[in-house]
Amino acid sequence: MIEKFNVRKEIFEDTPNETLHFELTLDSKEYQGHYKENEVSWFQMQPDQENHEMKLEDLEVEVKKRIKEWKED
C-alpha cells in the first residue's frame, strides 16, 4: 500500500515534453519516477525488484490515478 505520494515538480511544464517527477513510499521503501503520456518510468530501485504485496501493474494504476487527481486540483 502506498503510504506517501508526492509530485515533486513538472519538467518542461506546459510544453509537449511535459514530464512529472513523482516520489512515493511503499511498504516503508522510497521510490521515484517520471510520468509522461500516461506511462510510468521508474528510477532505480524499482518496485518490482522488491517483494511487495502490491503488484507493479496495480501500483502503476494507483500512481496514474493519484497524478490525475493532482492535476485536477
* Percent with pLDDT over 90 in the chain: 64
DSSP letter for each residue of 4-66: EEEEEEEESTTSTT-EEEEEEEETTEEEEEEEETTEEEE-SSPGGGS--SS-HHHHHHHHHHH
Average pLDDT for the chain: 90
Q: Is the pLDDT of residue 23 over 80?
A: yes
How confident is the model at residue 71, as a pLDDT? Answer: 86
Mean local confidence (pLDDT), 30-34: 95
Task: Give per-residue pLDDT as tens, 37-64.
Answer: 999 999 988 898 888 989 999 999 999 9
